[in-house]
Amino acid sequence: MIKAVLFDLDGTLLNRDESLKGFINNQYERLKRYVGHVTKAQYVARFIELDRRGYVWKDKVYQQLSQEFDISKITWEELLKDYIENFRFNCVPFDNLIQMLEELKSSNFLLGMITNGYGQFQMDNIKALSIEQYFDVILVSEWEGIKKPNPEIFQRALEKLNVSPEQSIFVGDHPENDVKASQNIGMEGIWKKDIHWEDVEANFIVNDLKELPLIIGNLTGKVEAS
């Protein structure tokens, strides 16, 4: 019997691609007096390229950006500080996020989240999405001292929820860090489809978060189709 559903954050609940585009466009406009010698299109495109979908932390991104574009009126440290403080105001959820969480919670599933990243930064983004209250446990890699795909971070979350891997589902967009890593410890792995990956082996694949309650309901009989 499935008792718990755990999620990744970026690319699964948070539409990070759209959030990042919104942030970097806004940053350029807010700090145009410092970076205006570069065109907006250049600034945005190069930032997104250097970011590598979040797998490069922004200290390196801003150092490289400042060097390439000869940004001298503002330091890369100040640009990074602006990112840390203001990204949260640009957070975009995937469609049907709240509806999906409401359905699972009303069916008495335990909900958890495991996300790689910096602790306070990720918590700020979770709060910006107004979803913190739905989760019984949230683990952020910086605070835990380990990160996905390390099996220990999954086991730690399950222990906090007091459930076994066989009683749990993990939903994420990364084929290795999320799907395979959770399957390796005995969880069901659901892949939140992402255009950057193909031929992902998962127990189930979803395009839209609204599909999750029905899939999980079919596994348990606990959720009615809405």
- Check residue 159 and give its pLDDT: 98
Residue 226 pLDDT: 43
DSSP 37: T
Residue 221: per-residue pLDDT: 63
Checking DSSP bridges between strand 204-206 and strand 4-7, what pairing results, if any?
Answer: unpaired
Dihedral in degrees, nearest 10, Cα atoms 119, 125, 127, 129? -150
Q: Cβ-count burial of 46 within 10 angstroms (0-12 exposed, 13-18 middle, 19+ buried)?
A: middle
Region 112-130 average pLDDT: 97
- When pLDDT is averaged across residues 18-37 and rounded to a whole number, the result is 97
Phi/psi for 78 (5° steps) reads: -70, -35
The mean predicted confidence, pLDDT, of the chain is 95
- Tokens of residue 218, six digits: 């079919």
First to last CA, the chain: 21
Can you give the pLDDT at residue 225?
44
What is the average pLDDT across 50-79?
95
At 202-226, the pLDDT tens digits run 999 999 999 999 999 888 865 544 4
Percent of the residues in the chain that have a pLDDT greater than 70, as a whole number: 97
Taking only the tens place, the pLDDT of each residue in 133-188 is: 999 999 999 999 999 999 999 999 999 999 999 999 999 999 999 999 999 999 99
State pLDDT tens for residues 68-92: 999 999 999 999 999 999 999 999 9
Has this prediction a pTM greater than 0.75? Answer: yes
